[in-house]
Amino acid sequence: MSQQEHILVLRLSALGDVAMLVPVLREVFKTYPDVKITLLSRAKMQPLFEEFNAVEFFPFDPKKHKGLVGLWKLFFALKKQHIMAVADLHYVLRSRVLSLFFICFGIKVKHLNKNRRGRRELIITEKKDIKPLGSVHNFYAQVFNNLGYPIDLSQHQFPKRLAKKSKAIIEGFKVEKRKWIGIAPFAAHLGKRYPLDLMQKVVSYLQQEHDVFLLGGGIEEEKQLMLWAAAYKNAHSITNLSFNRQLKLIAHLDAMLSMDSANGHIAANYNIPVITLWGMTHPYAGFKPFNQPDENQITLNRNRYPKIPTSIYGNKIPQGYEGAFRSIAPKEIIEKVLWVLTSKET
């Protein structure tokens, strides 16, 4: 009896990058239903992959798996799983060291092409013209192709959606006929955050005829969202929900308004229309949420701000660009959200 094909997938962080794995794994399992995957990532990421029966989640602990000794112990724990191939979808020092251990034992390893040259060219100052680099989803898929498991993301199929708002996971929120909108106003870097005073105007307007669910993670973020929830009758902060329950609520949304951040990718995995606001970054860098149309991307005017994108991750704000995000009016965002909701009905 032949041994089951078993692939180790390495993607240690961050939340949005890990979430982008989901449609890729769906296509892997659809194409190769007998394959087993062990996924190494932070423990908090596990709920993202509950839909997969053939994924064994192996939690990565940066304190326990620290340094060469920690990584060597991690390698031996993984090796006991009878890994046959390794897909390094992170390609950072830790994953490269782990991959090297597997290579030394004759196990095939392929790693992510981060297209560093293309990224450098994309953020060259005051570019006259920019071209899309290709999506991170496709770069992930290419790693599986290189391992001998070719997949075609254009054939991706979303799981069947559950009956809208039919589950007990959303207890505490009245099921009304109003549309449900998720708003995730935060991001890791300031260059990706729409000004909160302007976002408050968006929340204030949309909650008048819709239920608005506010998402965020940090302590200060939670405080801000609680203030908005207290100020507006139909705005609800869901920061007190477990990550698992947040995911299930996101799956029932009618639309998501997000920065260039994790919640947009999570909603897209459930085939929820996602409107993304792009500040110092740009969708051409490859981080557009999965299967989302270009018209759902609200970007800064590059005739006015020709240095966009200033970085891949939004961590660089050039002089004179400090107020650039304010050039996107709340009215433009509101109209786009309402247009998406209307389009979804037709």
Residues 137 and 214 reside in one and the same domain: no
Tokens coding 151 = 């997949």
Residues 199 and 295 reside in one and the same domain: yes
What are the residues whose beta carbons fall under 8 Å from the beta carbon of 297, sequence distance 6 or more? 276, 278, 283, 288
Report how many domains make up the chain: 2
Q: Considering the entire predicted model, what is its pTM?
A: 0.95
Distances from the Cα of 58 to the Cα of 82, 127, 308, 326, 331, angstroms = 14, 43, 38, 42, 45
Residue 125 has pLDDT above 70, yes or no: no
Note the pLDDT of residue 141: 98
Nearest to 335 by CA among 180, 199, 215, 206: 206
Cβ atoms of 39 and 58 closer than 8 Å: yes
- pLDDT: which is higher, 203 or 3: 203
End-to-end CA distance of the chain: 52
17 domain residue, yes or no: yes
Residues 126 and 179 reside in one and the same domain: no
Residue span of the structural domain in which 262 resides: 168-345
Residue 106 has pLDDT above 70, yes or no: yes
Residue 171 has pLDDT above 60, yes or no: no
Report the percentage of the chain scoring pLDDT > 70: 93
Helix runs in the chain, H state only:
15-19, 22-31, 67-79, 93-104, 116-122, 136-147, 196-206, 219-231, 243-250, 262-269, 330-345
Residues 281 and 315 reside in one and the same domain: yes
pLDDT digits (tens, 9 = 90+) for 313-344: 999 999 999 999 999 999 999 999 999 999 87
pLDDT digits (tens, 9 = 90+) for 224-271: 999 999 999 999 999 999 999 999 999 999 999 999 999 999 999 999
